[in-house]
Structure 1
Amino acid sequence: MLMPRLIPVLLLMNGQLVRSETFTQHQIIGDPLHEVSRFNEWKVDELIYLDITREGGLAQGRRDSGNRAYADSMEVLEAVASQCFMPLTWGGRIQSLDQVREIFSRGADKVAINTAAFETPELITQVAKRFGAQAMVVSVDVRQTNNGYDVMIQGGRTATGRDPVSWAKEAEDRGAGEILLQSLDRDGRGTGYDTALIEQVSDAVTIPVIACSGVGVYEHYAKGLKAGADAVAAANIWHFKELADRGGKRALQRAGFDVRM
């Protein structure tokens, strides 16, 4: 059995790192390149960058802020990849195979696709055939409803009426190598993963499921793995706790999981 992975998720908006809450509130926390050095030192298992920019160009920031100005998101990716010594997944605003090709040429190892994968599912197959299933991550954003769960697209703004279990199964059938499963309701709240959602999706597919959204304390990671996830990811906790990788993995060890230290 493979060791479970512990993965930081970094959110980019207009070229800057942000923390997120319920996909609607965002706080700028720094430059996208600064965190890479820290994660290299910690030797984290993997790194996921998601560009959640909705409109506008890249923010240039103050000249005395110490933050570098980037021309576009691909320049951000190239800068990150040049200093990133762990597997790198890049997602957000991906709409075509040509974009995927450019992302890989700039140094990413995987792509995470949400809206375009749902609206044009053939793209999943195209990416998997061209670059391998291991490089194709389908990002599934989910909101809880009175009747269960609803897959959301367009950065959580548009409901699809699709059940996440059936969509995850279709994504696997079309060639996806992994599912990145995110809960809009838990995002940034620190109340823990939606373990019922994780269990339902993990039971329905054979490919790895990366659980995300809701981590507030290190002990939440083990609950995500026990619900069936193959990897556990988080965003905000990595920015506000020192040695977050070590603390998270020690918590997993205490819960009985064998992890790479």
Structure 2
Amino acid sequence: MLRKRVIPALLVKDGSLVKTKHFKKPLYVGDPCNTARIFNEFEVDELIVLDIGTGNAQEQINFRLLDELASECFMPLGYGGRITSVAQAARIFDLGYEKIVVNTGALDNPELISELARKFGSQAVVVSIDVTRDVFGHPHVRRRDCGKYHLSPIQWASKVCELGAGEILITSVEREGSWQGLDLVLLKALVDQVGVPVIAHGGAGEYSHIRDAFDIGVDAVAVGSMVVFHKKDSGVLVHYEGNMLHV
């Protein structure tokens, strides 16, 4: 059984480290490679890099940046952003990454999940699911490139597990960057439904939020604001405290 994990999640746009709130208004944070060096010093167990780009389907993966990040990082690395083929994934793994994260590519072509799992093993394939709630509070899968997608996140999560996903990264759009806490109702429903590790993302602002997620069975919590800001509505201060691992 995997131990509980707290994973820094770094957002990259146009080669720079940024942080968003509700997926909007990316704020410049710094250089991703410099930040990776800092996390090396903090002895972080795992790191996820998500390139949020512009939403343009024709935009290319920044392999040069991925190479630079891999050369700086001593911890296991995961990457997500515009992965649509096994060939792209193979190139990323060849750079030294342990996991790939697929989102829109899996929505457009669910069979991609199976292809990746067969080639690299399920343990290397993370499916990212972004979730937004409608005016009635019902959750829907959201596509970054065109907004809401009328698909149940629980049903989609079950489907991606059948297709071979080894982990699920679930992000609450309304809570992302808010510091107000994770969507425990959604997370609990997901944990009860799927049999793979669940990584919760979106809303963690204090240690109790992480503890609450672990208490309902979440396997890992991905944190963004907590590791790039000193505190809510405060300046940038990339940091990672060891007691995050002991909540």
- Structure 2 CA distance, aligned partners of 1:244 and 1:12? 19
2:242 to 242, 246, 260: 246
Aligned equivalent of 2:24 = 24
Instruction: Show CA shifts across 1:25-51 (max 9, x none).
Output: 210111110111111111112100000
Aligned equivalent of 1:256 = none
Larger CA deviation: 180-189 vs 226-235:
226-235
- Identity %, equivalent residues: 39
Aligned equivalent of 2:233 = none
- Structure 1 CA distance, aligned partners of 2:181 and 2:205? 6
Contact kept? 1:104, 1:110, Cα under 8 Å: yes
Go from structure 1 to structure 2 and tell me whether the alpha carbon gap of 1:55 and 1:122 turns closer, same or farther (over 3 Å shift): closer
Q: Does 1:152 pair with 2:142?
A: yes
Instruction: Show CA shifts across 1:59-90 (max 9, x none).
Output: xxxxxxxxxxxx97111110111121111000
- Structure 1 CA distance, aligned partners of 2:101 and 2:241? 22
- Structure 2 CA distance, aligned partners of 1:72 and 1:109? 17
Aligned equivalent of 2:65 = 76
Go from structure 1 to structure 2 and tell me whether the alpha carbon gap of 1:132 and 1:72 turns closer, same or farther (over 3 Å shift): closer
Over aligned residues, Cα RMSD in angstroms? 1.6
- Structure 1 CA distance, aligned partners of 2:162 and 2:196? 10
Contact kept? 1:219, 1:248, Cα under 8 Å: no
Amino acid at match of 1:161: H
Larger CA deviation: 47-56 vs 170-179:
47-56
Q: Which runs of 5+ in 1 are unaligned?
A: 57-70, 253-261
- Structure 1 CA distance, aligned partners of 2:37 and 2:23? 26
Q: Which runs of 5+ in 2 are unaligned?
A: 231-237
1:249 positional shift = 2.5
Amino acid at match of 1:105: D
Q: Secondary structure at the match of 1:225?
A: helix
- Structure 2 CA distance, aligned partners of 1:72 and 1:207? 27
Q: Secondary structure at the match of 1:33?
A: helix
- Structure 2 CA distance, aligned partners of 1:147 and 1:8? 28
Q: Secondary structure at the match of 1:244?
A: coil
- Structure 1 CA distance, aligned partners of 2:66 and 2:239? 24
Q: Secondary structure at the match of 2:18?
A: strand
Contact kept? 2:175, 2:183, Cα under 8 Å: yes
Q: Secondary structure at the match of 2:228?
A: helix
Q: Does 1:121 pair with 2:118?
A: no
Go from structure 1 to structure 2 and tell me whether the alpha carbon gap of 1:124 and 1:40 turns closer, same or farther (over 3 Å shift): same
Q: Which runs of 4+ in 1 moved over 3 A?
A: none
Contact kept? 2:39, 2:240, Cα under 8 Å: no
Q: Does 1:235 pair with 2:231?
A: no
